[in-house]
């Protein structure tokens, strides 16, 4: 639901949001609704409230239970049941619908004026009758007392079709070359006709005579309109038995009292495009007038604006539900728009949930105070105002407090007296940097968040897929140039949010320090020069300590390299006497690994582990008895001792168990055992 405010009046767009295509399957539709949050949160007031290409007209039946809408392409008319909040039926026609009119209080009888001069009458079950009129029609009205259907169009005549007798009656002859619109007053049944030359004629249906006429075009010229053109009358609507609203092609709405030939109020839309729809809201004395660009709601008494709605697409027709706040629009778009204005009226009975829904939205709307400043506890500590917590100077809100903006500025001026001076210097530096931006300069390392930039560049090199990098995005440029965005990696908050990164950084830092200390000690020992006489005793002790650390490190590495000379724990070193004739051969590990297993065993003196056997045919067989590990042997011995101990301590249940009887043995039919 989209909320807009115009003139201090909230307007709720109930049709805002994404729409699902008609050709997708029900399974894909459910998957999209499940994964897309915007589709789940949208409000679909009426199911399938749309047309394939565009909608041309929309009306509500007299009983308020059905909504009729026409559209293209193909030309069609749809009926929506507000009780079921869904489409009731759809009927396609042969030509585009220019106008349609309801003949009954519900959807059961209506007539459609088509663009090919056809006039189609529909019943509840479907198409009923089709006839043709002599000229192209523009509008039609139904006079229920006489059952006459009046059709106006590109002719000076007004055609009359009597639906009771089923034949055309004698037409009415007007003083204009063509007519554009017609309207019947529901109170006294006066027929009002608007002409293309900017005139309005009133006819009495009882005698088929002209009662009076008004020159609307002259009134628009007197009010400052274009004197070279005569704007046609494009819309007519009665408020009561005497007040008539007239819309013109020049974008003006004039209010007339039938007793006077001059208008008592004029409203200009300032778009110079025809006004095609007019409606009245009687409880607040409002007028709703619409052209192709906007729907304007204004006061009937003085013409002051109330609010306005400007949709994205051109408006073809507007339907206002009487004495409610609901407005429907047929636009040059597949989606028909629904608007709810609580200030105009309450929601209709069939969608009364809109009242509570809008109230919840108003309660959930956040309020921002211009004369108050939101501060956190750390901000109060910085300003030295922590002692004000609990007083009426601070109002608790969420994770901080609201305080008067004047008090905030005073406290900041006291705690940071040179803040303005630093701010001014920073602004001057930024201006100078902007002027230098056009010059050719050497690419330097980023001054702010350089460590973060290095990590981002390393991650970009490692990743295979294209991943968005903040370094190349102008939206994050201030993060690497403005000192206010400096990340303090030593703070507790950073370590809590990035524990792995903090540990890795600490480990890397310790490793670098250790490596630097070792290199420093080794370099000093290689130099072998005595310390300077001018150096202090502390420096001499420190150098001696580094030399000792380096010596211990080398000795430890030497001990790890001598694997054959040292046995297990507690073993003593054996001294082997080498005779003069023996040669001490030292081979590399790679040479030893390429030798065969037998040669390696002979060299290592492991003949006791292998038993070779030779045959007369030259074959040789060798069996190896692998020595088990000490851990495995110890574990098996412990398990063996444990089983023996359990066997000794266990008590047999043989004495309490029943004795088993031996199976009898028979021989030659006699039991022998």
Do 142 and 123 share a structural domain? yes
Provide the strand spans (E) within 216-336: 233-238, 243-248, 252-257, 263-268, 275-281, 286-291, 295-299, 305-309, 315-320, 326-331
Q: What is the per-residue pLDDT for 10?
A: 86
**Of the residues 401, 419, 437, which one is the last residue of a structural domain?**
419
Predicted model pTM: 0.54
Tell me how far CA of residue 490 lies from CA of 10, 186, 342, in angstroms: 49, 81, 54
Average pLDDT score over residue span 494-511: 74
Do 200 and 100 share a structural domain? yes
Do 360 and 376 share a structural domain? no
137 near 99, Cβ under 8 Å? yes
Q: What is the per-residue pLDDT for 602?
A: 65
**Of the residues 301, 335, 364, which one is the last residue of a structural domain?**
364
Average pLDDT score over residue span 423-435: 81
Examine residue 415 and state whether it is found in any structural domain, yes or no.
Answer: yes
Provide the strand spans (E) within 530-667: 610-614, 620-624, 666-667
User: What residue numbers bound the domain in which 297 lies?
Assistant: 2-364
Do 273 and 179 share a structural domain? yes
Q: What is the per-residue pLDDT for 559?
A: 62
- Does 96 have pLDDT greater than 90? yes
Q: Strand, helix or coil at 255? A: strand
SS3 letters across 167-206: EEEEEEECCCCCEEEEEECCCCCCEEEEECCCEEEEEECC
- Does 21 have pLDDT greater than 70? no
What DSSP assignment string belongs to 107-152? SS-EEEEETTSEEEEE-SSSEEEEEE-SS-EEEEEEETTTTEEEEE
Q: What is the per-residue pLDDT for 46?
A: 84
Do 344 and 386 share a structural domain? no
- Tell which residue, 243, 216, 209, 214, has the closest CA to residue 232: 216
Do 283 and 248 share a structural domain? yes
- Does 539 have pLDDT greater than 70? no
Q: What is the per-residue pLDDT for 374?
A: 86
Q: Residue 583: which pLDDT band, with cuts at 50, 70 and 90?
A: very low
Phi/psi of residue 219, nearest 5 degrees: -70, -35
Examine residue 343 and state whether it is found in any structural domain, yes or no.
Answer: yes
- Both tokens of residue 187? 């109170």
Examine residue 261 and state whether it is found in any structural domain, yes or no.
Answer: yes
Task: Kindly give, in sequence order, each residue whose CB lies less than 8 Å from that of residue 495, ignoring residues fewer than 6 positions away.
Answer: 502
Do 406 and 278 share a structural domain? no
Examine residue 495 and state whether it is found in any structural domain, yes or no.
Answer: no
Do 394 and 349 share a structural domain? no
Q: Residue 221: which pLDDT band, with cuts at 50, 70 and 90?
A: low
Examine residue 310 and state whether it is found in any structural domain, yes or no.
Answer: yes
**Of the residues 364, 387, 408, which one is the last residue of a structural domain?**
364
Q: Quick count: other Cβ atoms within 10 Å of Cβ 492?
A: 9
Q: What is the per-residue pLDDT for 563?
A: 44
Average pLDDT score over residue span 314-328: 91
Examine residue 62 and state whether it is found in any structural domain, yes or no.
Answer: yes
Average pLDDT score over residue span 141-168: 91
* 151 vs 583: which has the higher pLDDT: 151
394 near 388, Cβ under 8 Å? yes
Do 290 and 143 share a structural domain? yes
**Cis peptide bond upstream of 74, omega within 30:** yes
The distance from CA 445 to its chain's CA centroid, rounded to whole angstroms, is 37
The CA distance from 454 to 445, in Å, is: 10
Q: What is the pLDDT of residues 223-263, one digit of tens each?
A: 555 545 678 899 999 998 889 999 999 888 999 998 888 88
**Structural domain count of the chain:** 2
122 near 91, Cβ under 8 Å? yes
- Does 484 have pLDDT greater than 50? yes
- Does 78 have pLDDT greater than 90? yes
Examine residue 442 and state whether it is found in any structural domain, yes or no.
Answer: no
Q: What is the pLDDT of residues 604-661, one digit of tens each?
A: 654 445 566 666 666 767 666 666 778 888 889 999 999 998 888 877 777 777 777 7
Q: What is the per-residue pLDDT for 625?
A: 63
**Cis peptide bond upstream of 73, omega within 30:** yes
Q: What is the per-residue pLDDT for 439?
A: 58
Angle at 331 between CA 131 and CA 340, to 5 degrees: 115
The least confident of 231-240, 336-345, 435-444 is 435-444
Average pLDDT score over residue span 153-174: 90
Q: What is the per-residue pLDDT for 427?
A: 83
Do 121 and 191 share a structural domain? yes
Do 358 and 393 share a structural domain? no
Examine residue 584 and state whether it is found in any structural domain, yes or no.
Answer: no
* 530 vs 84: which has the higher pLDDT: 84
- Does 425 have pLDDT greater than 60? yes
With 0-12 / 13-18 / 19 or more C-beta atoms within 10 angstroms meaning exposed / middle / buried, residue 239 is middle
Task: CATH number of the domain at 321, please.
Answer: 2.130.10.10
Mean pLDDT of the chain: 79
Do 276 and 408 share a structural domain? no
Q: What is the pLDDT of residues 554-568, one digit of tens each?
A: 666 666 555 444 444
Task: Kindly give, in sequence order, each residue whose CB lies less than 8 Å from that of residue 209, ignoring residues fewer than 6 positions away.
Answer: 203
Q: What is the per-residue pLDDT for 572?
A: 44
């Amino acid at each position: 639901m989209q909320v807009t405010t115009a003139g201090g009046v909230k307007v709720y767009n109930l049709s805002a949001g994404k729409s699902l295509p008609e050709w997708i399957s029900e399974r894909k539709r459910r998957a999209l609704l499940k994964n897309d949050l915007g589709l789940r949160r949208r409000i679909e007031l009426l199911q399938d409230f749309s047309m394939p290409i565009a909608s041309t007209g929309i009306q509500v039946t007299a009983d308020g239970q059905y909504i009729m809408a026409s559209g293209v392409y193909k030309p069609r008319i749809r009926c929506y049941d507000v009780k079921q909040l869904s489409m009731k039926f759809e009927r396609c026609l042969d030509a585009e619908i220019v106008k349609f009119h309801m003949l009954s209080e519900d959807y059961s009888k209506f007539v459609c004026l088509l663009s090919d001069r056809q006039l189609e009458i529909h019943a509840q079950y479907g198409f009923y009758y089709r006839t043709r009129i002599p000229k192209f029609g523009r509008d039609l009205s139904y006079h229920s007392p006489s059952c006459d259907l009046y059709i106006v169009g590109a002719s000076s005549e007004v055609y009359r079709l009597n639906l009771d007798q089923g034949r055309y009656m004698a037409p009415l002859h007007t003083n204009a070359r063509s007519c554009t619109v017609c309207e019947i007053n529901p109170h006294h049944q006066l027929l009002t006709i608007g002409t293309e030359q900017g005139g309005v004629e009133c006819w009495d249906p009882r005698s088929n005579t002209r009662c009076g006429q008004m020159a609307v075009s002259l009134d628009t010229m007197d009010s400052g309109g274009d004197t070279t053109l005569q704007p046609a009358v494009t819309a007519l609507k009665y408020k009561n038995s005497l007040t008539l609203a007239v819309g013109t092609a020049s974008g003006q709405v004039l209010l007339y009292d039938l007793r006077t030939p001059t208008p008592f109020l004029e409203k200009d839309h300032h778009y110079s495009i025809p006004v095609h729809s007019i409606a009245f809201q009687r409880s607040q004395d409002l007028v709703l007038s619409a052209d192709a660009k906007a729907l304007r709601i204004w006061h009937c008494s003085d013409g002051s604006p109330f609010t306005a709605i400007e949709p994205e697409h051109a408006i073809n027709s507007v339907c206002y539900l009487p004495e409610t706040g609901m407005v429907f629009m047929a636009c040059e778009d597949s989606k028909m728009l629904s608007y709810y204005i609580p200030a105009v009226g309450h929601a209709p009975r069939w969608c009364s949930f809109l009242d509570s829904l809008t109230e919840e939205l108003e309660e959930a709307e956040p309020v921002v105070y211009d004369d108050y400043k939101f501060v956190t506890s750390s901000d109060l500590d910085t300003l030295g105002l922590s002692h004000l917590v609990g007083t009426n100077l601070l109002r608790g809100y969420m994770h901080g407090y609201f305080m008067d903006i004047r008090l905030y500025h005073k406290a900041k001026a006291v705690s940071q007296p040179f803040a303005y001076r630093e701010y001014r210097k920073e602004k001057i530096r930024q201006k100078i940097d902007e002027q230098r931006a056009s010059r050719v300069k050497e690419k330097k390392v980023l001054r702010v968040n350089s460590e973060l930039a290095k990590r981002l560049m390393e991650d970009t090199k490692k990743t295979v897929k294209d991943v968005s990098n903040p370094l190349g995005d102008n939206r994050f440029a201030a993060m690497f140039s403005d000192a206010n965005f400096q990340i303090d990696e030593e703070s507790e908050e950073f370590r809590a949010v990035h524990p792995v990164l903090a540990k890795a950084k600490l480990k890397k830092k310790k490793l670098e320090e250790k490596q630097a200390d070792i290199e420093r000690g080794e370099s000093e020992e290689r130099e072998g020069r005595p310390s300077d006489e001018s150096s202090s005793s502390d420096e001499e002790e420190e150098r001696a300590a580094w030399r000792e650390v380096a010596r211990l490190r080398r000795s430890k590495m030497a001990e790890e390299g001598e694997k054959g000379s040292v046995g297990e724990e507690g073993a003593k070193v054996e001294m082997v006497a080498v005779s003069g004739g023996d040669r001490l051969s030292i081979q590399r590990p790679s040479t030893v690994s390429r030798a065969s297993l037998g040669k390696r065993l002979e060299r290592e003196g492991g003949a006791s582990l292998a038993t070779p056997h030779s045959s007369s045919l030259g074959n040789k067989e060798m069996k190896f008895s692998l020595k088990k590990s000490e851990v495995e042997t110890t574990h098996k011995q412990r398990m063996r001792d444990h089983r023996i101990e359990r066997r000794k301590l266990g008590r047999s249940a043989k004495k309490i168990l029943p004795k088993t009887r031996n199976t009898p043995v028979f021989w030659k039919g006699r039991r022998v055992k």
